[in-house]
Structure 1
Amino acid sequence: MPSEEQLEALRTQLWNAGIIGSLRGTLVGLVSGLYLNYKYNKGPNVRFFSTPYKFLYLISWNVAGIIFTTDIAKTKLRHQIAIEDEIKRDTYLQQELAQARR
């Protein structure tokens, strides 16, 4: 079980990943939204480019960015914790073997 300091560090890393994901999602939403607005805001499609739809599009990209980056961060953290546990287990076994040989 990780200590409180390790849990706080993991929590901080997840918050940072969420903030980065939010920024990336906003950037993708803005750039793709501007492109779609430029390309398709003509004729019968004008009704889909009202302000509420634009905000919903931006918010959906924001949520997608947060979800993807936090999932990637969770995977990396799980891998990091598994490696740390394996190192602890190996050192413990080496100490036990060294004591058994004495």
Structure 2
Amino acid sequence: MKLWLLIPCFWVTAVAAVDVIFVDAQQQQGVRSPTLSFCQARFYEEDDGRLYCNWAVNFRYACFVWWPTNKIIPAGAKLSEPEVVGKCGNGEPVYKLHHY
């Protein structure tokens, strides 16, 4: 048997195995994608396993939302600690939070 006939078989088997692993990982994580949220530092508060702030979808909106929102992020959903990514026009620092 020629070697070039076996190579496609190995490639198909490897691709199928990777696909199965990927699907299993998605099912175990509940198919939730990580996301970013932004908020002003003065509104950020961690209380009883919950994160409160004026959560916004990007830096610009975080500067224009002047009150805490109703969105609450579970503390266990954090993928990283909040980090300062800039300041609003009034000098208020803005946090970026990577979370589920």
Q: Which has the higher strand share?
A: 2
Which of the five TM-score ranges fits, normalised by the shorter chain?
0.3 to 0.5
Q: Which has the higher helix share?
A: 1
TM-score scaled by length of structure 2 = 0.34
Greater relative contact order structure (CA < 8 Å, 6+ sep) = 1
TM-score scaled by length of structure 1 = 0.34
Which one has the largest radius of gyration?
1
